[in-house]
Structure 1
Amino acid sequence: MTSGTDRSRAQAGTVGDLGIGILMLDTHFRRLPGDIGNARSWSTPVQFRVVRGADPAAIVHGRPGDFLQPFIDAALDLVSCGVRGITTSCGFLALLQKELAAALPVPVATSSLLQAPLIEAMLPAGQQVGILTFAPEALSARHLSAVGVRTDTPIEGLAPDSLFRRVYGAQGGVSDFAVLEQEVVAAAQALVEKHPNAGAILCECTNLPPHSAAIARATGRPVFDIIGFVDWFARSLMPPVYPKD
């Protein structure tokens, strides 16, 4: 018997060997290599869907729940094309983790923040993870609780008047890699200066991975981001086959 999902895949035209489907915010800025929305960032096949109207302001500072159904619809479209897992292009969509996981027939990892409990389990006694975020004033206890993160977790982020916030918040501004990296590194250094027990840095924002290496060099801490997380996720969906001898 052919299931409803199988029928929808046949109607949509399944694409082979797709591990991850990425739900993208509605943006128009330049996405650097290492950014979740740049195809060159990935070592595994991915498929993108833009959720129209879900721009950074609406998701970070607005009501992401208003876009739940459009995100579900876009995810189901990706599943119909053959993807085996879903992620998103904004860590603030942690607020929709439970709802999307309940609505979809494949595993869902909405946010890099899902890594926090695992990172803390790996750290030496007395250390905790610190979060580097796009908008520290907007990342609330609700976001953290939605994905099982301690609400006393240290948080640092980019200033509202930074080029990073202007570019990736779709407020205007020309992308300049050197300036963006300088701002990101300064925020990471502020995080560890304020919280010396932050033994690892977790990047909430999916635009931060192009700068993960610089963050690690500047702080001496391991750095976790969405690209490493989704690579791990994708490997579980499409495990490698090893030689028999």
Structure 2
Amino acid sequence: MTTRGGKTVFGASVGILMLNTRFPRIPGDIGNAATWPFPVHYKVIPAATPDNVVRGDASPLLGAFIDAGRELLELGCDGIATNCGFLVPFQTEMSRALGVPVASSSLLQAPLIRMSLPADQTLGILTISSETLTTAHLDAAGIPHDTPVGGTGAGSHFTTRVLGDADEIDFDQARADNVNAALRLVHDNPNIGAILLECTNMVPYAADIRRATGRPVFSIYTYLLWFQAGLLPRRFPTHLDDIPWAPS
């Protein structure tokens, strides 16, 4: 059997473009490689920081993200993701320039989640910075402007340590900040039927949010599991005798 090449590295179909950070990342965080049940490639954008992407104008960084995406494609990736939900305005230009599937933000799941909910329920979005999540971000993801949005709070430990790119994070306090923010969101909007986490650093707390609110929780983790499954579909046994647990 002849095998086709054309790549430098094989077996890692997803490439993740990273902001330039130093804060610690525990399993569940997009930037901890142990989070993923499949190999991934990473590429850091030196000029992109949590502060200038989330609280500033990220548009001057588009070219750098496209260039870095091309490097990951040359390395062997088949699809590109980013590690910040606030980069959703880059979606159209990045996918056009790179010519492959792009997952710029967990927010892109919103239309599908909304369609899955009963008619009397809505989607709620939890973000690291509700103060700077604008209608432009919502529009880029196809999210109605009346969608309930809650934030962890500009003065919370989670927000200040991540956006401030701190050397240390108290993850117990960060967990509490996320759970409390989610509880406020559903208290203020009891018709929320599911929660979507904008921030890729919130994933370690998704199970706690689900337990506390009783709502399904979606995130960059749920998105990239789906994304990778399309890039590299699982091959199933073609005969019953090939199934390990099949009766003889």
Q: TM-score range by the shorter chain?
A: over 0.9
Residue 185 of structure 2 corresponds to residue 191 of structure 1: yes
2:53 to 59, 69, 77: 59
Aligned partner of 2:214 in structure 1 is 220
Instruction: Give the AA of the match of 1:186.
Output: N
Per-residue Cα deviation, 1:35-75 (whole angstroms, up to 9, x for no partner): 00000000111000000010011111111110011000000
Quick one: distance in 2 between partners of 1:15 and 1:222?
36
Residue 149 of structure 2 corresponds to residue 155 of structure 1: yes
Instruction: Give the AA of the match of 2:44.
Output: V
Aligned partner of 1:139 in structure 2 is 133
Quick one: distance in 2 between partners of 1:173 and 1:127?
40
2:223 to 229, 234, 238: 229
Quick one: distance in 2 between partners of 1:59 and 1:165?
14
Per-residue Cα deviation, 1:9-30 (whole angstroms, up to 9, x for no partner): 96xx610112100000011100
Aligned partner of 1:35 in structure 2 is 29
Aligned partner of 2:9 in structure 1 is 15
Quick one: distance in 1 between partners of 2:12 and 2:226?
15
Residue 237 of structure 2 corresponds to residue 243 of structure 1: yes
Aligned partner of 2:87 in structure 1 is 93
Q: Which runs of 5+ in 1 are unaligned?
A: 1-5
Q: CA deviation at 1:239?
A: 0.3
Contact 1:28-1:170 at 8 Å conserved across structures: no
Quick one: distance in 2 between partners of 1:149 and 1:197?
17
Quick one: distance in 1 between partners of 2:68 and 2:88?
17
Q: CA deviation at 1:171?
A: 4.9
Q: Which runs of 5+ in 2 are unaligned?
A: 240-248
Q: 1:38 to 1:173 in 2, by over 3 A?
A: closer
Per-residue Cα deviation, 1:87-137 (whole angstroms, up to 9, x for no partner): 000000001111111111211010000000000100011111100001001
1:49 to 40, 43, 46: 43
Quick one: distance in 2 between partners of 1:99 and 1:152?
26
Could you tell me the TM-score, scaled by structure 2's length? Answer: 0.92
Quick one: distance in 1 between partners of 2:171 and 2:58?
29
Contact 1:27-1:170 at 8 Å conserved across structures: no
Quick one: distance in 1 between partners of 2:179 and 2:135?
25
Equivalent positions of 1:167-178 (< 5 A) are: 167-172=161-166, 174-178=168-172
Q: CA deviation at 1:173?
A: 6.6
CA RMSD of superposed structures (Å): 1.4
Aligned partner of 2:200 in structure 1 is 206
Identical-residue share of aligned pairs (%): 47
Instruction: Give the AA of the match of 2:166.
Output: G
Quick one: distance in 1 between partners of 2:169 and 2:81?
25
Could you tell me the TM-score, scaled by structure 1's length? Answer: 0.93
Secondary structure (helix, strand or coil) at the match of 1:132 reads strand
Instruction: Give the AA of the match of 1:89.
Output: N
Equivalent positions of 1:63-82 (< 5 A) are: 63-82=57-76
Flag the structure with larger Rg. 2
